[in-house]
Amino acid sequence: MLVLETLHGLRVIAAPASLDGVRWSEGTIVLRFAPDEAFALGATEVQIPDEYAIVVHESAFVGSWLTREELADSVLPHIEWPLPERRPSLAQGFVAGVPAKLWLDGDRALLLCAAAYVHELADRLG
């Protein structure tokens, strides 16, 4: 069974332009959920030129890194929509009927969903 583990990072809501301009530390994976929203994996602090920005520690996502084969075998059969072709990129939508996200980067992919759904997703993906 797929094991999804807690992901830690910063959840940031800020003006899109200010988010665009953020210099994240080396190696930070930034999942841009929306133009004004990002989840920066592993980040612990951020300088952002938006005095109203919401920056909070986020621990409510669980995820699992998958190889290209694991993605093809255990995840893709449960997705109705096409994956984006660009890499790296974020895809969001139902995976096996659970709201989930995929970070696609080269040969690997990070599958993540809210911790509240982890039992459903793991069960459905087997």
Partner 1 sequence: MWITCPRCGGRPVEEYRFGGEVRGAAAWITDAALRDVDYVWMYDNIEGVTTERWFHGAGCRRWLTIRRDTTTDTIVA
Partner 2 sequence: MTEASRIVVDGRPMPFHPDDSVALAVLRAGEHPHHGGTICLAGDCGNCIAEVDGVAYVRTCQTPCRPGLVMHRHPAVGAPPLHPAVALDTTTPPPARRISVQRSRAEVVVVGAGESGTAAASAAQRQGRSVTLLDGGQGMEVVAIYAGPTVIVRTPGGMAHIQAEEVIVATGAAELHPVCPGNALVGLVTANAAGQLHAAGVDLGVAVAIGSPPEGVPCTPVSGRLRRFEGHARVTAVVTVDDDGGERTTPCDTVILGLGRAPRDVLSRMAEELPVTVVGPAAASFPLPPAPDAGTVCPCSRVDVDDLASVWDRGFQELELVKRATLAGTGTCQGSVCLPHLRAFIAERSGQTPEPFTARPASRQITLAEAAAGVHVDAFRRTALHDEHVSLGARMDRFGGWWRPWHYGDHVAEYWAVREGVSLGDVSTLGKILVSGPDAVESLERLYPVRVADIRSGRSRYALLLDEGGHLIDDGMILRETETRFALTFTSAGAAHAEMWLRDWIDMWGLRVHVLDRTMSLAAVNVTGPLAGRLLERVGLPAPPRFLQHVHAEIAGVPCHVMRLSFTGEVSFELHHDVHRSVELWRALLANGSDLGIVPHGLQALQGLRLEKGHVIVGMDTELDSTPRRLGMDWAVQMDKAEFVGRSALARTAGLPDQRRLVGLTMPGIAPTEGSPIWSDREVVGHVSSSFTSPLLGHAVMLGWLKRAPFPDTVTVDGRAAAVVRPPFYDPEGSRARA
Q: Which two tokens stand for residue 74?
A: 């255990």
Site for partner 2 (CB under 8 A): how many residues?
33
Minimal distance, residue 26 CB to partner 1, in Å: 27
Phi and psi at 83, nearest 5°, equal -75, 150
* List 3, 45, 69, 82, residue binding partner 2 (CB under 8 A): 82
Complex with partner 2: residue 107 or 123, whichever CB lies closer: 123
101 contributes a contact to partner 2 by CB under 8 A? no
Helix (H) or strand (E) holding 110: strand 108-114
Provide the binding-site residues for partner 1, judged by CB under 8 A: 33-35, 37, 80-82, 84, 91-94, 99
Q: Is the dihedral of CA 18, 42, 78, 116 positive or negative?
A: negative
Minimal distance, residue 48 CB to partner 1, in Å: 20
Do residues 58 and 8 touch, judged by C-beta distance below 8 A? Answer: yes
Any idea which residue has 């999804």 for tokens?
4
Complex with partner 1: residue 29 or 91, whichever CB lies closer: 91
Phi and psi at 107, nearest 5°, equal -90, 0
Q: Which residues bind partner 2 (CB under 8 A)?
A: 6, 8, 11, 13-14, 36-37, 52-54, 56-60, 76-80, 82, 96-99, 114-117, 119-121, 124
